[in-house]
């Protein structure tokens, strides 16, 4: 019986014939026909789900056949349906870590992921604004990884499946087989182009490699070099890694597709597990002259109304041609002909005997000449062996032990624990060639065999070392995985000429101390070849208030306020350098000084300098101060907009004048409040150590 659930989570039972399809990185899907279950047949609608083999599927289509009183339907596994119906409303550009893409896609979906694949950051252009399933498949393809779904957890792995010891042989458990080859992409030669010698110059020389397959010389006389599409990726900086990528592309250019039907021997008591998508099996068919190791790409199984699997069709693709050459064809032929027993790494007679004994026994354990062997009764691919050599755990019937403890060490896909102690730990990214090594209480970071940087400890503390010729950066990364450099030791820095580049904003007060005490000779120098700019950002993002210092002058933009001191000009005198303080007023004035002489009519017009007139606002009252240089009395008889008139009681009389007018744009300023408090001044390194000495009493 199959359980169906409607939109309101009401459950109904039905009997169906079902065809189930599982594929590597493809949708898990069902198609079926409902024969019994009137409530389901009458009411099935959009939003219904069903549970099959402990997995939830969403019904996407259904067709009612009134003549036969049946309902045909199709359904997809819930993950694929929900992700395809959920949008991602952002658009990303640039390079991001693989985990950042996954985090963004899985956020808020109810699904989580477990990633065990090592994938370097990669670049996308206009990635987003689509359904999450399409975007997920896109980055899975880009990263060249695979995935499987278990409940609400999506497992991202370098490759699915296991290399099984299962042999599928004609007239034993192979019913029919059909082989199809595809050489449309066949290549014998490939090239690779990696990083530029100058990273920011695309005209500079690139890292370049080439590869010729074992079949190159065979096909060259007739076709010449049969070239694959070149691998062009600037992330490759090591020739060996780039060559490996080109080699893989050429060697996998010849594909073999195999479709076969397996007789499900489990129904007659054969306990060895059927293979799953991603698994590798060995297929032998003498009539087709085929004997090779192939990978299962898709499995389609038929189930009757009792839930019994009645037929399984498997679609396979071969290993690459280069990998095929590693398989001993003579051994396969001898096995197929029955001349020699199946090799131990496939399925030994001893293991077969032990398997039968264990399954028939009351206990899971059996002592054999190979040691103590435990085999899972429901899945014979799961094997544990214990002997004098060590302990091993296998998921492929004992062919390989990916988790093992021997005298040579511990091998495992994953290690879990609160503390892992040891002498040396090393992890390496094959694509980029970068390595992190923990060794003797220190950390080393390497690029290939070249030591780039590291963390060491000594008697004075911890040291983060950057080796000459490399850049050490401290960056800030946002939620999208985009990084901005904040602090860096550039590659041009050396031991004798150390350099530091600061790109971020410094949010602190800098103090330069000697033994914890501020010293006069502990100076801070800021300098560059062309000049130094110190400023604060305005609301529009520009430096509205700043000081610009060059080799010839210093400019101040914005208000300039001096605390606890005066504005001085330094003058050379016969007794050394003396300070001449600036004249301070309560209001903002601009002045000018000159001399004049009244005429025969005892008056003279003095025109205000046009440039001075531009600086002052003569619409406001301005002041003229007169000094007599003759035996006469002087006064200002008229103040015009751009002139003033001086009169005297005697003709032809000399005088001096001083003009003071309010600065244009600052006419209303008078003793401007700085908004600073006494408490603020106390924080400014002792500006008022004995109280406010600038305030005097009126009493």
Ordered DSSP codes for 261-314: EE--GGGGT--SPPP-TT-EEEEEEGGGTEEEEEEEEEEEEEE-TTS-EEEEEE
Helix (H, G, I), strand (E, B) or coil at 357: helix
Domain ranges of the chain: 2-81, 86-157, 184-253, 513-557, 589-699
Pick left, alpha or beta for residue 390 (phi over 0 → left; psi -120 to 50 → alpha; otherwise beta). left
pLDDT of residue 615: 94
Please name the residue that has the structure tokens 């397996």.
262
Mean pLDDT, each 10-residue run in order, the chain (699 residues): 94 94 79 94 93 92 90 93 93 91 94 90 88 91 85 86 59 60 79 89 91 86 91 87 88 70 49 64 65 76 87 68 35 40 40 45 57 73 83 79 83 68 74 79 82 77 81 81 82 86 71 54 65 75 77 82 82 89 90 95 96 94 96 96 96 96 92 81 57 49
- The candidate with the shortest Cα–Cα distance to 149, out of 30, 28, 31, 58, is 28
Q: In what order do the strands lie in the sheet with 403-406?
A: 365-368, 371-375, 383-387, 390-394, 403-406, 409-411
CA–CA dist 575, 90 (Å, integer): 72
- The candidate with the shortest Cα–Cα distance to 22, out of 397, 382, 315, 380, is 315
- The candidate with the shortest Cα–Cα distance to 318, out of 152, 435, 180, 210, is 180
pLDDT of residue 501: 83
- Look at the domain 86-157 and name its fold: Phage tail protein beta-alpha-beta fold (3.55.50)
pLDDT of residue 289: 61
pLDDT of residue 235: 83
Provide the 10 A C-beta neighbour count for residue 192: 25
Cα distance from N-terminal residue to C-terminal residue, the chain:
103
* H or E, element range at 346: helix 344-347
User: What does the H/E/C string look like for 64-122?
Assistant: EECCCCEEEEEEEEHHHHHHHCCEEEEEEEEEECHHHHHHHHHCCCCCEEEECCCCCCE
Q: Which residues make Cβ contacts (< 8 Å) with residue 687, sequence separation at least 6?
A: 563, 564, 681
Pairing of strands 290-303, 206-212: unpaired
Per-residue tokens: 297: 């790409």
Provide the 10 A C-beta neighbour count for residue 441: 9
Helix (H, G, I), strand (E, B) or coil at 322: helix
Query: Positive or negative, the Cα torsion across 588, 593, 599, 605?
Result: negative
Q: How far is CA 669 from CA 538, 586, 588, 672, in A?
A: 22, 9, 7, 6
User: What does the H/E/C string look like for 343-356?
Assistant: CHHHHCHHHHHHHH
Centroid of chain to Cα 284? 45
Pairing of strands 424-428, 434-439: antiparallel
pLDDT of residue 262: 61
- Are the C-beta atoms of 395 and 382 separated by less than 8 Å? yes
pLDDT of residue 683: 64
- Are the C-beta atoms of 114 and 154 separated by less than 8 Å? yes
């Amino acid at each position: 019986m199959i359980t169906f659930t409607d939109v309101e989570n009401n459950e109904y039972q039905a009997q169906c014939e079902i065809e189930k399809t599982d594929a590597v990185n493809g949708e898990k899907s069902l198609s079926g026909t409902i024969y019994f279950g009137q409530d389901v047949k009458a009411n099935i609608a959009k939003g219904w789900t069903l549970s099959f083999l402990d997995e939830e599927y969403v019904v996407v289509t259904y067709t009612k056949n009134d003549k036969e009183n049946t309902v045909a339907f199709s359904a997809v596994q819930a993950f694929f349906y929900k992700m395809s119906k959920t949008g991602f409303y952002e658009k990303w550009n640039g390079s991001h870590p693989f985990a950042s893409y996954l985090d963004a896609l899985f956020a808020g979906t109810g699904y989580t992921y477990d990633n065990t694949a090592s994938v370097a950051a990669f670049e996308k252009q206009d990635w987003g604004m689509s359904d999450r399933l399409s975007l997920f498949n896109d980055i899975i393809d880009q990263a060249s990884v695979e995935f499987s779904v278990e409940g609400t957890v999506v497992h991202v792995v370098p490759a699915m499946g296991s290399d099984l010891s299962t042999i599928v042989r004609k007239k034993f458990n192979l019913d029919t087989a059909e082989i199809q080859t595809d050489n449309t992409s066949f290549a014998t030669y490939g090239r690779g182009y990696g990083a530029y010698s100058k990273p920011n110059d695309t005209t500079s020389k690139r890292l370049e490699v080439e590869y010729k397959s074992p079949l190159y010389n065979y096909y060259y006389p007739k076709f010449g070099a049969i070239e694959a599409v070149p691998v062009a990726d600037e992330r490759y900086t090591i020739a060996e890694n780039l060559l490996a990528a080109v080699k893989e592309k050429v060697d996998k250019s010849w594909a073999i597709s195999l479709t076969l039907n397996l007789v499900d021997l489990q129904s007659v008591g054969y306990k060895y597990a059927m293979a799953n998508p991603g698994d590798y099996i060995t297929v032998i068919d003498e009539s087709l002259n085929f004997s090779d190791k192939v990978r299962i790409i898709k499995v389609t199984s038929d189930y009757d109304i009792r839930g019994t699997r009645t037929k399984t069709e498997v679609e396979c693709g071969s290993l690459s041609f280069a990998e095929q050459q590693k398989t001993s064809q003579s051994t396969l032929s001898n096995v197929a002909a029955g001349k020699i027993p199946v090799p131990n790494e496939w399925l030994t007679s001893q293991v077969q005997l032990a398997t039968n004994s264990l399954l028939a026994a009351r206990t899971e354990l059996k002592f054999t000449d190979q040691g103590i062997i435990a085999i899972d009764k429901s899945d014979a691919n799961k094997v544990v062996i214990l002997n004098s050599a060590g302990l091993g755990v296998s998921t492929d019937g004992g062919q390989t032990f990916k988790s093992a403890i021997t005298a040579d060490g511990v091998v495992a896909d994953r290690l879990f624990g609160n503390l892992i102690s040891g002498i040396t730990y090393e992890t390496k990214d094959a694509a980029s060639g970068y390595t992190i090594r923990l060794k003797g209480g220190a950390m080393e970071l390497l690029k290939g065999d070249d030591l780039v940087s590291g963390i060491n400890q000594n008697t004075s503390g911890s040291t983060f070392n950057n080796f000459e010729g490399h850049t050490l950066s401290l960056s800030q990364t946002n939620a999208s995985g985009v990084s901005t450099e904040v602090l860096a030791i550039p590659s041009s820095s050396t031991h004798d000429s150390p350099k530091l580049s600061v790109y971020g904003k410094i949010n602190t007060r800098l103090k330069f101390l000697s033994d914890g005490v501020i010293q006069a000779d502990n100076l801070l120098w800021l300098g560059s070849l062309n000049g130094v700019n110190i400023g604060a950002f305005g609301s529009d993002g520009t430096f509205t208030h700043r000081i610009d210092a060059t080799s010839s002058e210093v400019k101040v933009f914005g208000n300039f306020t001096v605390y606890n001191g005066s504005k001085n000009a330094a003058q050379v005198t016969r007794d050394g350098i003396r300070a001449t303080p600036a004249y301070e007023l309560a209001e903002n004035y601009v002045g000018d000084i000159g001399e004049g002489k009244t005429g025969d009519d005892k008056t003279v017009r003095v025109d205000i300098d046009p440039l001075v007139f531009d600086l002052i606002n003569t619409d406001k009252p301005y002041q003229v101060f007169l000094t007599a240089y003759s035996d006469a009395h002087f006064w200002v008889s008229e103040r015009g907009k751009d002139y003033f008139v001086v009169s005297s009681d005697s003709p032809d009389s000399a005088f001096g004048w001083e003009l003071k007018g309010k600065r244009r744009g600052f006419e209303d300023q008078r003793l401007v409040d700085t908004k600073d408090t006494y408490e603020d001044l106390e924080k400014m390194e002792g500006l008022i150590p004995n109280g406010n000495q600038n305030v005097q009493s009126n009493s």
